Amino acid sequence: MTIGFVFLGSAMTVSALLFGVALVRGTGPERLLAGTLFVSGLLEAFILWLGPSLKESVQEGMCLLLDLVLFAMILAIALRANRLYPLWLGGLQLVTLACHLADLSVMSGAKANAAMQWVPFCAQLMVMTWGLFANSTSRRRDPSWTT
């Protein structure tokens, strides 16, 4: 449980840092995506925190709904922005949605649920970091680079 909270806290700290960097150094798509990831991470953490007071099915339903909304937002940006990394964010979010729906026969229980929720999120944070760095480099190299 303690390890889980440490992991969760680290992921949220990185997410907040990325959002801050995107606000300062990024352009429209970077700010939207980083903000979306940060807010969705906060909301998922809040749902987990409410855990004992909610039915498991209600908790899972709320997480699924949140991930669906997150996928819709990432998709909208990925289809319009002239960047490659939102496609990876969309792919990872699809994986998260698939994990919601799939029955994991290899692992089950709280650990599997935690893994399927947070591993893709961590991968998304890494992709977002790459995207911010790549965009910053592109704009430094080519001043006419726009959204």
Partner 1 sequence: MLGALTVMTSSRPAHAAGGADEGCDLALLFEGLTFKQHEVFEMVSDNRTSKEIAARLGITESAVNQRIESVRLRAGSLPRAHLARCYREFRSTRSADWLRGAPVTHGAEPLHPHGSERAMAKSADVDMPSATSGLNRPLHRMLMILMIAATLMILAVGGLVVAHMLIKLQ
Question: 145, 23, 127, 35: which is closest to 81 by C-alpha?
Answer: 145
Could you say whether residue 87 binds partner 1 (CB under 8 A)? yes
| Segment interacting with partner 1 (CB under 8 A) among 6-14, 41-49, 50-58, 84-92 | 84-92
Instruction: Say how many residues touch partner 1, by CB under 8 A.
Output: 22
Nearer to partner 1, 36 or 47 (CB): 36
Could you say whether residue 82 binds partner 1 (CB under 8 A)? yes
Nearer to partner 1, 16 or 87 (CB): 87
Could you say whether residue 72 binds partner 1 (CB under 8 A)? no
Could you say whether residue 75 binds partner 1 (CB under 8 A)? yes
Could you say whether residue 110 binds partner 1 (CB under 8 A)? no
Gyration radius (Cα) of the chain, Å: 16
CB of 127 to partner 1, least distance (A): 10
CA–CA separation, 86 and 105 (whole Å): 30
Could you say whether residue 16 binds partner 1 (CB under 8 A)? no
Q: Which residues lie near partner 1 (CB under 8 A)?
A: 75, 78-79, 82, 84, 87-88, 90-92, 94-95, 98, 104, 106-107, 142-147
